[in-house]
Amino acid sequence: MTEESNVNESNEASEVQEDHGSLVAARREKKRQIEERGIDPWGSRFDDRILIGDIRSRLDEVKFQKEDGTLIDLPELHEDPEQRINMRQWRSDNGPGTEIGPQVRAAGRIMLQRDKGKLRFIDIQDWSGKIQLFVGQKQVGESDFELAGLFDLGDLIGVDGRLGVTNTGELTIFAEKLHFLTKSIEPPPAKHVGMTDPELRQRRRYVDLAYNDGVLDRFMNRSKIVQSVRQTLANDGFVEIEGPTLHSIAGGAAARPFITHHNALDLELYMRIALELHLKRLLVGGMERVFELGRVYRNEGISPKHNPEFSMLEVYQAYGDYQSMMDLTEQVIVDAIEATGQSFVLPWGDKEVDFTPPFARKTYNELFEQYTGVDPSDANAVSSYADSLGFDTNGRHIDVIKNEVFEAKVEDELVGPVFVTDYPASICPLTKRKADDSDIAERFELFVHGMEIANAYTELNDPDLQEELFQTQLEGLDEEDSMAKMDNDFVRALRHGMPPAGGLGIGIDRLVMLLTNSQTIREVILFPLLRPEG
RNA sequence: GAGGACGUAGCUCAGUCGGUAGAGCAACGGACUUUUAAUCCGUAGGUCCUGGGUUCAAGUCCCAGCGUCCUCACCA
């Protein structure tokens, strides 16, 4: 605890801007009254609660006991409010008798409250679900009922009570004892509407998670996907490592790095832009199946598909090639879909994607011809086609021109999932060429809805060729756009002998986007980069 | 980095031709022991993003700035 926050304790109106009308004042006043009752408004440990989701599944333990002692089941309840059962009617049809249900303890955030005389209905929510509490003055007693009068939306409370069903057929905890767990001083967003302003949703992700439907689930799914990816790889004998995030040479990709500085060493450092070069050093060192799943940082533009820091998976398998990586990619994705409990046909906006394996596999040239009608081996035809699209072709390498056409005319059309294989070698400097065709690189990219999800190679392990490629600027590219950043130690590592290997990169954020039907990357990153709050 | 849109109560949003700042929810007071976006009666709540300018008069028009979003550019 800092000195500043101690000061704030004695000074109710803290430096945080919270003077929105009387709303906060009213909540602070209730906090005071809770304290006056000898209750800590910030609560304490609360053991033995049952997750609301688990409580809901215990509906079948609720029985109706007739006067002769026989127990009968309740009628089937419906989640849909339109189909609520009239339990008052049902009870009079089956009565006389009483309802009996299990004793339960729950805790959660107050999402809705409805007063009705000496009665209060409270909907609370924990991370497994939502349930209604019935709080009657007669049932919980004068003291607890007064306490309930000090509840605000957003407060965290605990309850002991019996599970039952109300007259309108809703599964409900009939409160016997209330516990105050934490006061919410800040007012929540409008109920049911929630917080829709995308800026506020990102800046105040805690509010977004707590009050907006589906947000918590989406991030829980992200966690399941990440966990599944790790599990799939572990099952296949891969080991996870943690490479350095501070690099003295930002290599392994063509991207501008963030620059930082180490004071004691007086050293300029770069945040890593890729995981590749250190993982390959580990291949040399004998880690035959190795991967890292972690953050990389690229000092570039922000868009619905780009955040400056994002999560990347890179996998390297000794004695494999890009074909073995293709099978692995498919397995990773199939397992991840199953981990989220979904079927292989996933919604994407108003469209769908069918991930039923095996995914289509098509060559780069095949697709090029299919979508442009131009023979990819005819340099003149490709060049004049690029001209007709308005691309600058002057003095540029034909493969660079071809790839611009590919990105413009083909990629967006790839609904996928489709593995695009066998790229022009000149645009893939870290890739081994085909044994029978040195112009073709053993590489694939996986596309879904025009998004590049995965990228894999048969890795280049010839140290002399690697050194040459580092030094050769790719034709038509500026120095800062080139990936030719010499890493002498990496070349030295290759000279010690890196096994022939397959290497794979998967953009985890984009994978999560696809599997959670999220059209922007900011929906799957908890705290995307924003300018500081004005 | 370029272009466009947006910024009004805690939240979600109206605001006409430049003429007294509006609603719903939330809040506050009251009624109600099976409600469920509870309902009903009443009350209060504003740095109209910020700063200039035009005007008798600016939430509204003009300029600059800040922030977000979209498109593009950058992007293995």
pLDDT digits (tens, 9 = 90+) for A346-357: 998 888 899 999
Instruction: Note the pLDDT of residue A14.
Output: 37
Task: Please check whether strand B approaches the CB of A301 to within 7 Å.
Answer: yes
Query: What distance in Å separates the CA atoms of residue A412 and residue A422, rounded to the nearest whole number?
Result: 19
Provide, in whole angstroms, the distance separating residue A153's CA from nucleotide B36's C1': 15
Displacement of CA A134 from its chain's centroid (Å): 36
Contacts of A400 (CB under 8 A, 6+ apart): A426, A427, A474, A475, A476, A477
Query: What distance in Å separates the CA atoms of residue A102 and residue A87, rounded to the nearest whole number?
Result: 19
Measuring alpha carbon to C1', the residue closest to nucleotide B44 is: A22
Task: Please check whether strand B approaches the CB of A132 to within 7 Å.
Answer: yes
Nearest to A45 by CA among A179, A137, A147: A179
Q: Please state whether the peptide bond connecting residue A81 to the residue before it is cis, i.e. omega within 30 degrees of 0.
A: no
Q: By the 8 A CB rule, do A190 and A210 touch?
A: no
Contacts of A248 (CB under 8 A, 6+ apart): A267, A268, A269, A270
Query: What distance in Å separates the CA atoms of residue A32 and residue A7, rounded to the nearest whole number?
Result: 18
Provide, in whole angstroms, the distance separating residue A89's CA from nucleotide B23's C1': 39
Q: Which of residues 319-358 of A touch strand B (CB under 7 A)?
A: none
Nucleotide nearest to A469 (CA to C1'): B76
Q: By the 8 A CB rule, do A284 and A493 touch?
A: yes
Find where tokens 């409270």 sit.
Answer: A122
Q: What is the pLDDT of residues A263-272, one digit of tens each?
A: 999 998 999 9
Query: What distance in Å separates the CA atoms of residue A183 and residue A117, rounded to the nearest whole number?
Result: 24
Find where tokens 């506020």 sit.
Answer: A200
Nucleotide nearest to A151 (CA to C1'): B27
Q: What is the pLDDT of residues A476-532, one digit of tens each?
A: 444 444 445 678 899 999 999 999 999 999 999 999 999 999 999 999 999 998 888
Residue A342: its H or E element: none
Task: Please check whether strand B approaches the CB of A33 to within 7 Å.
Answer: no
Instruction: Note the pLDDT of residue A351.
Output: 85
Provide, in whole angstroms, the distance separating residue A233's CA from nucleotide B72's C1': 38
Nearest to A4 by CA among A18, A15, A12, A20: A15
Query: What distance in Å separates the CA atoms of residue A196 and residue A472, rounded to the nearest whole number?
Result: 50
Provide, in whole angstroms, the distance separating residue A206's CA from nucleotide B29's C1': 32
Angle, alpha carbons A421-A472-A287 (nearest 5°)? 60
Nearest to A336 by CA among A231, A450, A446: A231
Find where tokens 């306490």 sit.
Answer: A147
Neighbours of A340 (CB within 10 A): 17
Angle, alpha carbons A78-A82-A83 (nearest 5°)? 35
Report residues of chain A scoring pLDDT below 50.
1-17, 474-483
Question: What tokens does A283 get?
Answer: 């291949």
Question: What tokens does A297 get?
Answer: 């940082």
State the helix-helix crossing angle for A508-515 and A215-235, rounded to 10 degrees. Answer: 120
Task: Please check whether strand B approaches the CB of A509 to within 7 Å.
Answer: no
Task: Please check whether strand B approaches the CB of A192 to within 7 Å.
Answer: yes
Residues in chain A: 534
Query: What distance in Å separates the CA atoms of residue A227 and residue A437, rounded to the nearest whole number?
Result: 39
For strand B, the positions having any atom within 7 A of a protein Cβ are 1, 9-13, 24-28, 31-39, 44-46, 66-76
Query: What distance in Å separates the CA atoms of residue A160 and residue A140, rounded to the nearest whole number?
Result: 10
Q: Is the dihedral of CA A322, A325, A330, A333 positive or negative?
A: negative
Q: What is the pLDDT of residues A69-95, one digit of tens each?
A: 888 888 888 777 777 888 888 888 887
Query: What distance in Å separates the CA atoms of residue A424 and residue A419, rounded to the nearest whole number?
Result: 15
Neighbours of A138 (CB within 10 A): 9
Task: Please check whether strand B approaches the CB of A391 to within 7 Å.
Answer: no
Instruction: Note the pLDDT of residue A81.
Output: 72
Task: Please check whether strand B approaches the CB of A395 to within 7 Å.
Answer: no
Provide, in whole angstroms, the distance separating residue A149's CA from nucleotide B30's C1': 15
Query: What distance in Å separates the CA atoms of residue A160 and residue A173, rounded to the nearest whole number?
Result: 8
